[in-house]
Amino acid sequence: MDVLTEELEKYTRSLEGIILPGSLMDCFEYHRRQEMRKATSSFNDDELSWFLHMMNELRGVDDRKEDFDLLFDPVMYMIDHPAWTAPPGLEIELPPLNTAVFANASTGSMFRQIAEDEIARLRTLADTYPDDAVIGLARIAVAAHLDNTPIVDRRMAIRYLAMNTSAKLEDFWAGDDTLWLETGTRKVTLPDVVAALKDELLQQRAAIAEEKVTEKDLVCYTEGEIKYFAFNPDKFLLSGKTRHMPLCGLCQEQIARWIETVRKAEEKMLSERDGQVRLH
């Protein structure tokens, strides 16, 4: 392991939880989880545990989820989405929610049959829960999806939960995503997550080496610096700019890619050299 990678790992371990988002997907994930946390605040841990148990009963033994982050996770429908590699931004284009697909599906279609069956099952599972609890749970799901659907009654809550957490509809999508493509995408506007986290970091004293983080520490490396540091880890350690590394996921990824390029170049050079020695 090279010096730069060791330094990166050391910083990452010590500052886990405050790394700035490195991609558009990171921004989306951070914001949706923050919104979901706000929505869950009106329930205690025991209530949330029972809610999760009920939803896992709907999903089935083979498709249980460990927490609400995973239960209400639209990322399942976002394999190979460009947001995974796009830089942080303020708008993301997402696949449609299953409730939107339902509205677009024809009457009597397989999708609608599965959805109606899931709705009926959840209605039975939720029979002992009061209206406020079911509506509150659906609002948690809405927040986690960064959706704006108003949940005004029990019927709407059950339909929203059943369709947007259904393992059977996930399987249907995996086999044929035509309906999702026909329904079209939805756009979600995000706050400036990176800027907000930078402001938060600037207010934290002793975040690194028991000193206050400054605005200079939050400035991304230039392209030239990224290449220079990747090829010269010793110069990086002496640059006076090491504090930025653990704070910025984007710069971490860019430097890591160059480190890998350097490693492959060295391996190729050594391989070619060995080949020449053998020929002699």
* 77 and 36 inside one domain: yes
pLDDT for 39 equals 95
> How would DSSP label each residue in 155-211?
HHHHHHHHHHT-HHHHHHHHH--HHHHHH--EEEE---HHHHHHHHHHT-TTSBTTB
pLDDT for 207 equals 47
Last residue of a domain, one of 189, 224, 252: 189
Q: Does some domain include residue 196?
A: no
Torsion of CA 167, 168, 174, 180, to 10 degrees: -100
Q: Does some domain include residue 116?
A: yes
Q: Does some domain include residue 158?
A: yes
In angstroms, the CA 7 to CA 255 distance is: 12
* 10 and 31 inside one domain: no
* 128 and 68 inside one domain: yes
* 97 and 232 inside one domain: no
* 180 and 230 inside one domain: no
* 152 and 217 inside one domain: no
pLDDT for 206 equals 47
pTM above 0.75, yes or no: no
* 157 and 273 inside one domain: no
Query: Sign of dihedral through CA atoms 40, 155, 59, 163?
Result: negative
b (16+ CB within 10 A) / e for 52-67? bebbbebbeeeeebee
Q: Does some domain include residue 259?
A: yes
Q: Does some domain include residue 271?
A: yes
Q: Does some domain include residue 198?
A: no
Last residue of a domain, one of 189, 213, 242: 189
Torsion of CA 116, 179, 106, 96, to 10 degrees: 60
Q: Does some domain include residue 114?
A: yes
Last residue of a domain, one of 189, 213, 245: 189
* 118 and 234 inside one domain: no
Q: How many Cβ atoms are within 10 Å of 106's Cβ, its own excluded? A: 9
* 40 and 75 inside one domain: yes
Give residue 160's domain range: 24-189
Q: Is 93 helix (H, G, I), strand (E, B) or coil?
A: strand
Structural domain count of the chain: 2
pLDDT for 59 equals 96
Q: Does some domain include residue 169?
A: yes
Q: pLDDT 10s digit of each residue in the chain, 280 long? A: 555 555 555 555 544 455 678 899 999 999 999 999 999 999 999 999 999 999 999 999 999 999 998 999 987 788 788 998 899 999 999 999 999 999 999 999 999 999 999 999 999 999 999 999 999 999 999 999 999 999 999 999 999 999 999 999 999 999 999 999 999 999 999 999 988 888 776 665 444 445 566 778 788 888 888 887 777 766 676 677 877 877 787 888 888 887 777 677 767 776 666 555 444 5
* 78 and 126 inside one domain: yes
Q: Using alpha carbons, list the distances in angstroms from residue 8 to 112, 170, 171, 215.
A: 50, 37, 39, 20
* 156 and 50 inside one domain: yes
pLDDT for 97 equals 96
* 36 and 141 inside one domain: yes
